[in-house]
């Protein structure tokens, strides 16, 4: 069989495996893209039209690649369209229309996302300790996580519409400030975890991965209280670019998968230390717990927090208490947790694949950022603090992957390195905004 015949056979095999639902989904995506061109094409520039043209086949491929995404996209599209129709061009209707007020306005949907991710985390942890009903609790945690992702996407899409209704010069894709990108981080991290959950047929990791999502939700709620960040604001001039639509999502795929890999690494260390009784062998994990518990002190000392209502200190007191209980509980119950966690080889493989995916997208985001910088500021690189720390993050994971592929890096060292990577990534994501200033200071605390 020659190469052309083999290629044709492969091509025919791929499409012959498509179901009626696959083709109906593809037809709906094409129809939706065509409607968007007909209705809003006059308001798009050539770059936006190009993005929409590429988005349609990408959405079809994603839906065919992983079946649950088809249902997710259709539900999000239907709910978002219902919200848009219900608004009738008047944002004041969000206070009078029942499903807008309580479910489908952007702020309502995002608050539902926050609650659902907290609930998902709780059910996953209940599954870790339940003896006879573990699968039931973990199944609920997984289903609630899916609903949380849907509400996050609905909130994002509706917020995009709301921004355009405020004013034509204000409308923008909601990935422009800390509030919006934290929402992006939460649902992206959860969605990637749900994919690995399905691929490896284990839900035990949800208890660990959803902890970092819940921590992000906690920060998001605090940030909303401090800055009223849910209010839609006009873009600063440098952000009025089509580059933002692709640079930021690619960047946060990297952040999300790096966070996921770190929590899997944490699970790896817990499983590995399950039978350890010598306290000095557990010292690194105890130190990690102390760092996590005292994280609120950092945010409490940020300028905005000090200027805000002093009542917010009680928020971080509760955060501290919950963090201490979680970390202490994990260390005390590590034997039980180790029994529920998948084998170390599986944890190591998930950690590697998450970092590999994140590194690929973070590399793409860094290149796109350089191109955007050249357009906005006249130079590809300026050693701005955000750029410098992005480079540090990139070098960290490049070195991790190099050691993995060239030197066979595995086990404890790889896991601790992934955890250190999360600290580096967190500083690049949030710390730079808190303690440093520069050209990227759009989401200050």
Which residues 6+ apart lie within 8 Å of 353 measured at CB? 196
Q: What is the DSSP letter of 343?
A: P
Alpha-carbon distance values, 367 to 236, 373, 426 (Å): 22, 10, 20
> Are 100 and 83 contacting, i.e. CB atoms less than 8 angstroms apart?
yes
Name the burial class of residue 330, with classes exposed (0-12), middle (13-18) and buried (19+) by CB atoms within 10 angstroms of its CB. Answer: buried
- Listed in sequence order, the residues at least 6 apart from 78 whose beta carbon sits closer than 8 Å to its beta carbon are none
**How buried is residue 130: exposed, middle or buried, by Cβ count under 10 Å (0-12/13-18/19+)?**
middle
Q: Which residues of the chain have pLDDT under 70?
A: 1-12, 275-313, 316, 435-445
Alpha-carbon distances of 219 from 154, 212, 293, 430, rounded to whole Å: 21, 11, 14, 11
User: Looking at residue 78, what is its pLDDT?
Assistant: 96
Q: How many CB atoms lie within 10 A of CB 167?
A: 10
Task: Return the residue matching tokens 């917010």.
Answer: 312
What number of helices (H) and strands (E) belong to the chain?
Answer: 19, 0
Look at residues 295, 102, 119 and name the one whose alpha carbon lies nearest to residue 190.
119
Rounded Cα distance between 363 and 432, Å, is: 19
Tokens 């819940």, located at residue: 214
**Residue 279: half-sphere exposure toward Cβ, Cα within 13 Å:** 0
Cα distance between residue 272 and residue 335, in whole Å: 10
DSSP 216: H
**Residue-range domain boundaries for the chain:** 71-233, 245-298+315-444
Residues 6+ positions from 304 with CB-CB distance below 8 Å: 226, 227, 444, 445
Distance CA(199)–CA(203), nearest Å, equals: 10
pTM: 0.90
Q: Which of 80, 208, 77 is nearest to 138 (CA)?
A: 208
> In whole angstroms, what is the distance from residue 198 CA to residue 194 CA?
6
100, 87 Cβ separation under 8 angstroms = yes
Distance of CA 171 to the CA centre of its chain: 23
CA distance 304 to 330: 33
């Amino acid at each position: 069989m020659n190469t052309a015949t083999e290629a044709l056979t492969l091509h025919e095999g791929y499409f012959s495996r498509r179901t009626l639902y696959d083709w109906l989904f593809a037809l709906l995506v094409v129809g939706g893209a065509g409607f968007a061109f007909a209705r809003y094409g006059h308001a798009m520039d050539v770059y936006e039209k190009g993005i929409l043209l590429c988005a349609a086949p990408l959405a079809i491929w994603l839906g065919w690649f992983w079946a649950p995404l088809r249902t997710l996209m259709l539900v999000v599209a239907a709910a978002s369209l219902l919200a848009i129709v219900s608004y009738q061009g008047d944002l004041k209707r969000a206070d009078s229309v029942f499903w807008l007020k309580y479910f489908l306005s952007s702020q309502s949907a995002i608050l539902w996302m926050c609650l659902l991710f907290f609930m998902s985390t709780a059910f996953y942890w209940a599954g870790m300790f339940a003896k006879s009903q573990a699968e039931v609790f973990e199944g609920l945690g997984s289903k609630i996580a899916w609903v949380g992702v849907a509400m996050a996407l609905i909130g994002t899409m509706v917020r995009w519409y709301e921004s355009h209704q405020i004013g034509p010069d204000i409308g923008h894709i909601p990935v422009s400030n800390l509030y919006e990108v934290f929402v992006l981080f939460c649902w992206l991290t959860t969605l990637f975890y749900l994919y690995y959950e399905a691929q490896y047929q284990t839900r035990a990791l949800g208890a660990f991965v959803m902890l970092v999502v819940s921590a992000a939700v906690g920060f998001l709620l605090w940030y909303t209280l401090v800055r009223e960040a849910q209010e839609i604001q006009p873009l600063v001039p440098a952000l009025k670019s089509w580059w933002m639509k692709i640079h930021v999502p690619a960047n946060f795929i990297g952040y999300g998968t790096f966070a996921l890999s770190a929590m899997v690494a944490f699970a790896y260390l817990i499983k590995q230390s399950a039978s350890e009784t010598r306290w000095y062998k557990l010292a690194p994990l105890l130190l990690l717990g102390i760092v996590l518990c005292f994280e609120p002190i950092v945010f409490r000392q940020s300028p905005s927090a000090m200027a805000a209502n002093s009542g917010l200190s009680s928020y971080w007191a509760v955060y501290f208490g919950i963090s201490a209980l979680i970390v202490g509980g994990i260390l005390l119950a590590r034997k039980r947790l180790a029994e529920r966690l998948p084998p170390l080889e599986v944890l190591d493989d998930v950690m590697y694949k998450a970092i590999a995916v994140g590194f690929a997208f973070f590399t793409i985001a860094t290149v796109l950022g350089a191109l955007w910088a050249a357009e906005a500021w006249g130079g590809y690189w300026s050693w701005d603090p955000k750029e410098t720390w992005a480079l540090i993050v990139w070098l960290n994971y490049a070195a991790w992957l190099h050691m993995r592929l060239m030197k066979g890096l595995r086990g404890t060292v790889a896991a601790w390195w992934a955890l250190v990577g999360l600290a580096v990534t967190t500083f690049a994501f949030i710390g730079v905004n808190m303690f440093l200033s520069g050209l990227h200071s759009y989401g200050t605390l």
